[in-house]
A and B are shown apart, each in its own frame.
Chain A
Amino acid sequence: MLTRPVGASLMVEQACPQARARGVRPGVSLGQAQALVPELTALPYEPRYDQAALQRLADWALRFSPLVEPAAPDTLLVDITGCQRLFGNEESIARQALAGLARQGFAAQAAIADTVGAAYAVASAGSQTIVVVPVGQAPAFLAPLPPAALRIDPRTSERLNALGVRSIGDLLVLPRASLPSRFGPQLVRRLQQALGEVFEGVIPYQPEAPPAAALRFETPVANVPVIAATAERLLADVFGQVLRRGAALRRLDCVLYREHAPPQVISLALARACRDLTHVAQLLAQRLEQTDLGGMAASAQPCDQPLSVCGLRLIARETSRWQGSQAELFEPRAPGDEEALASLIDRLAQRLGHAAIVRPRLVDDHQPEMAFRYVSVAEAGCAAEASGAAVANYAAEASYVAEEPDRHSERSEESSGHAPTPGFTAPAQPDSSLAARARNDASVRPPQMGIPQPVRLPPRPVRLLSRPAPIRVIALVPDGPPTWLACRRREYLVAHASGPERLETAWWRGPDVRRDYFRVTVESGEQFWIFRSSTERQWYLHGVFA
C-alpha cells in the first residue's frame, strides 16, 4: 500500500487488491486503513517512480509505433495509424501489447478508437480488456459510459452526477452551447476531442539518445593526425554532454565512415567510469594510431585504392552515474591510486587487448596445468576484491600437512642421499617428502566445489612449460628417479631427486592422466620439475624452478 501525506496525516494513495478487498480505499487515512487491515505494509508514494516506469514502458512500446506518448499517471498513448498491417490487424496489436505488458508484470486495459479521447474513455471505463471501436462508431461506444471517462476533473464529474447526467449519452443530449457557462470550457473540449470534432494528436515521446557528436568532412581525409584532431574535438563535445547529464563515460564508439568501404567502429571500453577528458583522448588517439587507415596502409604497401575517411561519429555507448571518489579518513594510501591503476590498465588494454591483462585464480585441480586460470582484468575488475583476497590466502591455506597415510601402495624409491624413509612412517620433514600425495578420492571430486582441499603441496615451479617437453632419461631402477637426463639439447647429471608425487586427474576429462612428478637437482645446481607418464611410459620436462 502506498501513502501520501495530506496535511498532518497520511492518506492512502494506492492499495493492493487484497487490501481493497478488505475495504481499504484510496483516500482513507492510514489509521483507518490499519484498523481495517492490521498487517498492512505502508510505503510512501513516489510519483517519480511511476513516471520512470512509464518512461520505460514508453521505450518498450516503440516497437508498435514510432509515435508513443506517456500520459501521466498511468496511460500510454500509441498512434498506430498504418501500423496494423504489420501486426495482422488492430486487435492483434492490442493483444500483443497486453501480452507484453503482462510479461513485465503489468495489468492493462487496451482500447483502439478513432480519437485519443474515445480510446481513453473506452479503456478507462470499459469492462473488457480489449475494445476495438470501429471507424465512426465512437458516439455509440461512448454513450453508455460515465462522463468521468472523458478526462474531466473530478469536481465537474461530481456536479454532472448531482445533476443527473449519468452518462455521456445524457451529456450529448444537452445543448452544447450551454455547457461551457455551467461546467467550464474543459468539458466541451474533451467532448469534442472524444468525438473527433477537435483534433488531438499524440505528442511523440523522444527516447533519450546516447550523447553523440558527428562531423562530415568536405572532402575525404586520409591523414591520421587530422582525423585524430577532429576526433578529439568531437570527444570534447560528447564529454560535455555526458558531464551535463551528471554521468561518467564507460564505453565510447568511434565510427569512421570511409570511402569505398563499410564504416569502421573503434570501441573503447574503460576499466572504470571516467570523467577525465585527457585520459580518454589519449586512449582514442592511441587507438586511431593503430587503426589501419588509408594513409598508413598506403605507406606500408601501395594499394591502388587508399581508404579515406569521409566522416566521424562519436557515441557514448555506455555511461554510468558518476560516483565521486572520496578520500578515506583512515587510509594511509595516497588517494587516487585506484584511478591511477585503472587508467594504466586502460592504456595497456587499448594496445594489447583486454585478454592480455589478466589476474590469476587458483583452481582446485590436481593436474598442474589446470590448477589455475587467468581472468581478464576487465572481467575481474582491478580492485582487490574479496575473492582475490581469499585466493591470496591460498598459500596459508594450503599449508596443511596431509596426515592421512597413503592409500596406494606407491613405490617408495627414494633417491639416494636424502634420508630415505621407506613407507613414510615418520617423515622428518613432511614437506620435502611425499606426505602430500594426490589421493585418488580427492582427484575424483569435481573441481571448484569449495575452498581448496587443505593439502600441503610440495613446491611448485615458478615457470611451467605450456606443453611438457619429452626428455630422455637414464634411471637405475625401472620407473625410478632418473640419474641422467637430456632435454633441450643439453645433458644433465642428476645430483638429487625428490619424489615421486603422483598426480592423477579426472577420468571425465578425456584421456587418463597419471603422472609421477620428481623435482630433480642437476649437477649445475638447477632444479627441474619432470614427470613420468605412467600411461605413455615416457618422461617429460614440465617446469623450471627459475
Chain B
Amino acid sequence: MLSAAENLPRPTLLLCAGPADAGTPSRDQRVYSTQPAEWIPKDPRLVRLAEQIRALRPRGPAPSSRCPTGLPSLDAALGGGFAGAAVHELVAATEGAAAHTMALRAAARAAGENRWVFFIDAAGDLYPPGVAQLGVPLGRLVIVRPAYPADALWVCEQTLRCRAVAAVILPLRTIDARASRRLQLAAETGGGLGLLIRQDERGGHTFAASRLRLEPLLGDADARRMLVTVLKLRESRPPEPFVMELPDAADSVPAPAEPADRAGTARQCASG
C-alpha cells in the first residue's frame, strides 16, 4: 500500500557505488558499513570517501527544534514542547478526553505564519467552528477526508513528507510498529509534527517520540481538567503524571475591552 519503500535510507548501497577503483571486494565494503570499528581504511582516498558517506547518512532530528504547545505544565513535562520532525501519540482514554483540543492547539502553534496544518478526518466529524475557536487559522487548515480508513495512514505519510506542512493530525484506533516507523521517517524527511490521536494504547512498541495518555478529570464548572501521563519520551525519562487544566476554548480569543478597540478589529478584518 505504501509506495515509498525505496526511499528508506540505505547507506550500504551508497558505499558499494563509491570506491570502484580501490580494488576491494564489495562484500568487505558492506561489512565495513555495518561494523565500522573492525576495518580501518589505509588509503587516504578511502578515508575521504568514508567521511563523505558519513556526511550523507541521515542524522537524527535536530534536538533543538521544539514545538511548544502554549500550555506551561505540558511544555515543562515534555522539555519545552513536542519534539519537531517527529511523531507523537496522544492516547485518549475516553472519547471526551481533550486529545483533539491539545493536538489542534499544538498544531496551531507549529503552523506559524506560512505553513500548513493537515487534519485527516476519516470519521468525518471535525467541526471547523470549534477548531477556529481553538486559534487554528482556518486559512491554513486542509482537511483530508479519506473514504476508507485504510487510506488514512497513506495520506498521513505522504503529508508528513511534505515540507510545507507544519503538523498532521490523524485520529485512529491503533497503530503497529511498522506503520509507526514509516510515519516517523516521513516526519524526519518533511520536518513536520505528526500527532496521532489513539483510542487504544495497546499494540506494542511504536517509534513515536513521545506518547501521552490523557484522562479527563472533573474540574470546577466548565473547566477542562485532565490527568496527563507521559508513557514515553525519547530523550529523557518520562516525568510523573500530572494534572493540568486546558484553557477554555473562548479564552484563547483575545477579548476586546473597549468599543474603540472593537472598531479596530473590524478594520483589521476588513483590510485583511
User: Which A residues contact B (CB, under 8 angstroms)?
Assistant: 286, 333-334, 337-338, 340-341, 343-345, 347-348, 351-353, 356-362, 368, 371-372, 374, 377, 382, 384-401, 417-418, 431-432, 451, 454, 456-466, 495-496, 498, 519, 521-528, 543-546
Asked if residues B256 and A394 are in contact (CB atoms below 8 Å), the reply is no
**Which listed residue, A286, A352, A458, touches B155 by the CB 8 Å rule?**
A352
**Which listed residue, B101, B142, B262, touches A546 by the CB 8 Å rule?**
B101
Q: Pick from B51-59, B67-75, B79-87, B264-272 the stretch touching chain A.
A: B264-272
In whole Å, how far is A296's beta carbon from the nearest beta carbon of chain B? 15
In whole Å, how far is A385's beta carbon from the nearest beta carbon of chain B? 8
**In the complex with contacts A340-B164, A344-B164, A462-B134 CB distance below 8 A:** yes
Q: Write the chain A residue with the least CB distance to B148.
A: A352
Quick one: which of B144-201 are within 8 Å of A by CB? 144-147, 151, 154-155, 158-159, 161-165
Interface of B is mostly: mixed
CA distance in complex: A351, B216 (Å): 37
Asked if residues A393 and B255 are in contact (CB atoms below 8 Å), the reply is no
CA distance in complex: A387, B143 (Å): 17
Asked if residues B164 and A368 are in contact (CB atoms below 8 Å), the reply is no
In whole Å, how far is A8's beta carbon from the nearest beta carbon of chain B? 49
Contacts of B101 in A (CB 8 A): 462, 545-546
**Which listed residue, B96, B135, B164, B226, touches A337 by the CB 8 Å rule?**
B164
Contacts of B162 in A (CB 8 A): 340-341, 343-344
**In the complex with contacts A333-B114, A463-B125, A526-B95, A519-B222 CB distance below 8 A:** yes
**Which listed residue, A352, A495, A524, A527, touches B147 by the CB 8 Å rule?**
A352
Contacts of B98 in A (CB 8 A): 545-546
Contacts of A456 in B (CB 8 A): 250, 253, 255
**Which listed residue, B100, B140, B145, touches A463 by the CB 8 Å rule?**
B100
The answer to whether B130 has its CB under 8 Å from any CB of chain A is yes
Which 10 pairs across A and B sit closest by C-beta, in order of nearness? A526-B96, A388-B139, A525-B216, A360-B128, A464-B127, A392-B139, A460-B130, A392-B137, A459-B249, A341-B164
CA distance in complex: A444, B255 (Å): 27
Give the total of B residues in contact with A, Cβ under 8 Å: 74
Quick one: which of B220-272 are within 8 Å of A by CB? 221-222, 224-226, 248-256, 262, 265-266, 268-270, 272
The answer to whether B219 has its CB under 8 Å from any CB of chain A is yes
In whole Å, how far is B223's beta carbon from the nearest beta carbon of chain A? 8
Q: Write the chain A residue with the least CB distance to B155.
A: A348
In whole Å, how far is A365's beta carbon from the nearest beta carbon of chain B? 10
The answer to whether B132 has its CB under 8 Å from any CB of chain A is yes
Contacts of A524 in B (CB 8 A): 94, 96, 216, 218
Q: Write the chain A residue with the least CB distance to B249.
A: A459
The answer to whether B124 has its CB under 8 Å from any CB of chain A is yes
Asked if residues A545 and B224 are in contact (CB atoms below 8 Å), the reply is yes
CA distance in complex: A432, B142 (Å): 30
5 contacts between A and B (CB under 8 A): A388-B139, A393-B272, A395-B135, A496-B222, A527-B222
**In the complex with contacts A359-B141, A400-B256, A432-B163 CB distance below 8 A:** no
Asked if residues A392 and B140 are in contact (CB atoms below 8 Å), the reply is yes
